[in-house]
Structure 1
Amino acid sequence: MKDKFKFDIFGAPEIRYTQIKDISNNAPEIIMWAAPVMFVLVFLEWYISYRQNRQLYKKAETIGSILVGIGNVAIAFALKFVLLYLIVLIYNFVPWRMHFSWWMFLPCYIIFDFCSYWAHRVSHKQRFWWATHVVHHSSENYNLTVSFRLSWVQHIKIVFFIPVALMGFHPVIFFIVNQIAVLFQFWVHTEYIHRLHPVIEYIFATPSNHRVHHGSQEKYINKNYAPTFIIWDRLFGTYQKEEEEVKYGVTHNIENKANPLHINFHEFAEIWKDIRGAKSWKMKLFFLFGDPIAVAKYKYGKREEQLNS
């Protein structure tokens, strides 16, 4: 009788690699289901901003955002099987594999969000990773289409989520959590939702909290990294309240705002250019892995010296 009610989430059997195709075909495509709703909300926000003459949508940036988003979805779809294979490989490696249970979604999501915080923070502190993330910050306007601006090479960041996989969560749970985490980011990219109830603002990455993250002012730069739970920023000293009107974009904005190739790879091109021109290995490593702000100050400081000499 005791065995009947035994609480046992571990000890799940290995997933045979011949089953991966079935899992891939049957795993819910939540983002694809949500896409029509997202586009309706984008159209609604555009229409309201147009009627109010707020100019939240600029033609070139909107085209760029949509093309980047379409490309990202296509790449994610193409890599789905490969990424799932990697997660299954790790799942089979650990002896504490968990059975598939819907209630495991919550702990997996919390741990996934914690890893996302650090992946996001590193992406702002090391130039190589910044090149995989600057795409998202390259818009000078803030609207729902900004959520589509996800780098085409961002999937290499799966290395930051290996700890989640090593905990033994079922691959389908991992796959669903990843999609929900991406979808959560959609609604925070708007100016039409102001500050919410203090309790919500304290716990979650709301539109107000995330607007700060996209700010180019000094007080807003490198703040509010948390994707879902802003509590991580409060714990690790990177929280900043929205206090003044946000100026969006990066400190040196891109010019070609509609070309998805330029949006995705302009920073990689700059890195390659800087590395080729560097005269020492120390400087090459600085241009590749240095703090993006320090690199920018060095480069633009040099240019000012050359102009003044």
Structure 2
Amino acid sequence: MNFILYAVPFFFVLIAVELLADRWRKVNNYRVADAINSLSTGVLSTTTGLLTKGVGLVTYAFALDHLALWRLSAESVWVWVFAFILYDLCYYWLHRMGHERNILWAAHSVHHQSEDYNLSTALRQTSTGFLLSWIFYLPLAVIGVPLVVFVAVASLNLLYQFWVHTRHIPKLGGFEWIFVTPSNHRAHHAQNLIYMDRNYGGVFIVWDRLFGTFQEELDEEPPIFGVTTPLRSWNPLWANVQFYAQLAADARRTTSWRDKLKIWFMPTGWRPADVAARYPLSKPDLSQFRKFDVPLSLAQQLYVGSQFGLYTLLGSYLLSNGDVLPWPALIVGWAWVALGLFVFGAALENRPAALKLEGLRLAANLPLMALAPVVGLWPVTSTGWAVLLTYTALSAIAVYCARGRFTRLAGS
């Protein structure tokens, strides 16, 4: 059973509660563009997962059928407890290697790119982790953990990790010794040298204490969130390919054929010597750290925020119907979502082409709506067309009225 689908409404309720806590405490842990970017990567990840979830499930089921040493019963409470603990141990090693190897960091870095730390950061997930993450969970299949138990404990593990992405909860005393908490996970998300590559557990921090990767959050060293090679973009598609693109560029530039392959599997940050010499990468001075930001008018924030909300509904529709929709429908639905999120990212960055891209997005709604019943995405009725045309017209009017403000900011 996948509990994530049922938890999504509670995620947004808790984000609203955190925003109220911000106001009550007179702090500001949210920026509109950053939060939308984090949520956009989450929407892109979940919709991409509808197309790629078979990779993990099929490989696990295959290993269970052909490599399992025992057949554990899903009816046993102890099997569930054992699977929950073992899953978190496997997650620890996946997470640790995700920080320590280039190819795995390319996927996992998405989750760390935000320079804010709040509950929306928890939903900031990779769309490419499915490529290699399944390898780390094969021990559960070899031991014979049933597929239904594996899926359930994976969902519970991910659910637990949501609440630790907040700055409002202090240290929790003895609880800190066994479980991952907001305090030790804040340290994990920091780019300060003392905190880097620490605290990998998902539920249990005991793995870090056992394997020497634990670091307590220090009062004298406040965490500075983000990554040492900043994303400097609000585009969720670029967020997912940024580090892959850097690795590919270095692999192309090096003259060593061995290094062209080696770079992908070396420790994070390793670069071929000839490339590092010709194309040095500068790391930011944290004493002068400034968050990435782009000036946005209130009209822009409201427009992009409301449009993003509608695309969140589209993503929720795909997620709730993913098991019954045919593959062509999922592909069209994913493309519809991805196009919108790409355009919203350009708008949040005040790109010169943002207005043209928004016009393209609105125009694309019409052929996509016509394609929807053909591929089985949903049946289109006259009411549906009326709603879409009204929405498109109102959006176009809003963009036309605000075009001067968009242009001035983009040119500034």
**TM-score band w.r.t. shorter chain:** 0.7 to 0.9
Partner of 1:288: 264
State the partner residue of 1:273.
249
One-letter amino acid of the counterpart of residue 231, structure 1: V
- Give the letter aligned to residue 74 of structure 2: F
Give distance in 1, aligned partners of 2:280 and 2:252.
21
Q: Which residue of 2 aligns with 1:68?
A: 41
> Is contact 2:254-2:272 (8 Å) kept?
no
Q: State the partner residue of 1:22.
A: none
Q: Which residue of 2 aligns with 1:37?
A: 10
> 1:238 is matched with which residue: 213, 218, 241?
213
CA, structure 1 residues 51+295, in 2 after alignment: closer, same or farther (shift >3 Å)?
farther
The structure number with the bigger radius of gyration is 2
Q: Which piece of structure 1 moves more, 141-150 or 67-76?
A: 67-76
Give ranges in structure 2 of 5+ residues lacking alignment: 283-412
Matched, 1:135 2:110: yes
Write the deviation string for residues 194-245 of structure 1: whole angstroms up to 9, x where unpaired: 10022x1000111111111111111100111111111111111111111121
The CA deviation at 1:272 is 0.9
TM-score (norm 1): 0.83
Counterparts in 2 of 1:105-124, with a 5 A limit? 105-124=80-99
Aligned-pair identity in percent equals 34
Superposed CA RMSD? 2.2
Q: Give 1:148 deviation, angstroms.
A: 1.0
Among 168, 172, 184, the alignment partner of 2:144 is 168
Q: Is the 8 A contact 1:102 1:173 kept in 2?
A: no
Q: Report if the CA contact (8 A) 1:72-1:151 is conserved.
A: yes
Instruction: Report whether the alignment pairs 1:183 with 2:159.
Output: yes
SS at match of 2:222: coil
Q: Does structure 1 retain, via aligned residues, the 8 Å contact 2:250–2:272?
A: no
Look up the SS of the partner of 2:162 in the other structure.
helix
Contact 1:286 1:295 in 2 (8 A): no
Quick one: distance in 1 between partners of 2:15 and 2:197? Answer: 27
Q: Distance in 2 between matches of 1:144 and 1:76?
A: 21
* Shift in alpha-carbon separation, 1:219–1:159, aligned structure 2, 3 A: same
Does the Cα contact within 8 Å between 1:224 and 1:230 map onto a contact in 2?
yes
Task: Tell me which residue corresponds to 2:75.
Answer: 101
Instruction: Provide the aligned length of Structure 1 versus Structure 2.
Output: 277
- Secondary structure of the 1:233 match is helix
Contact kept? 1:56, 1:142, Cα under 8 Å? yes
Q: Does the C-alpha gap of structure 1 residues 210 and 277 become closer, same or farther in structure 2, counting only changes over 3 Å?
A: same
Tell me the secondary structure at the aligned position of residue 231 of structure 2: coil
Distance 1:123 1:188 in 2: 19
Whether contact under 8 Å (1:135, 1:150) holds in the other structure is: yes
Is 2:152 aligned against 1:155? no
Are residues 52 and 296 of structure 1, via their aligned partners in 2, closer, same or farther at CA, if it must alter by over 3 Å?
farther
Structure 1 residue 145, shift from structure 2 partner: 0.9
SS of residue matched to 1:123:
helix
For residue 24 of structure 1, what is the aligned residue in structure 2?
Answer: none
The amino acid that maps onto 1:276 is R
- Which aligned pairs between 1:214-233 and structure 2 lie closer than 5 A? 214-233=189-208
- For residue 72 of structure 2, what is the amino acid of its counterpart? M
Distance 1:226 1:301, change over 3 A: farther
After superposing the two structures, state which structure 1 stretch, 224-233 or 99-108, moved more. Answer: 99-108
Q: Which amino acid aligns with 1:269?
A: A
* Change beyond 3 A, Cα 1:207–1:273: same
User: Post-superposition shift, 1:133?
Assistant: 0.4
Mapped to 1, the partners of 2:232 and 2:194 lie a distance apart of 25
CA deviations on 1:228-268 (whole Å, 9 max, x unpaired) are: 11111111111111112100001121111x21101111111
Gaps of 5+ in 1: 1-27
1:19 match: none
**Over residues 264-297 of structure 1, what are the superposed CA-to-partner deviations in whole Å (9 max), with x where a residue is unaligned?**
1111111111110011034324532222234499
Range with greater deviation from structure 2 (238-247 or 99-108)? 99-108
For CA contacts below 8 A with separation 6 or more, give which structure has more relative contact order. Answer: 1
- Cα distance change on mapping 1:47 and 1:298 into 2, 3 Å: farther
SS at match of 1:124: helix
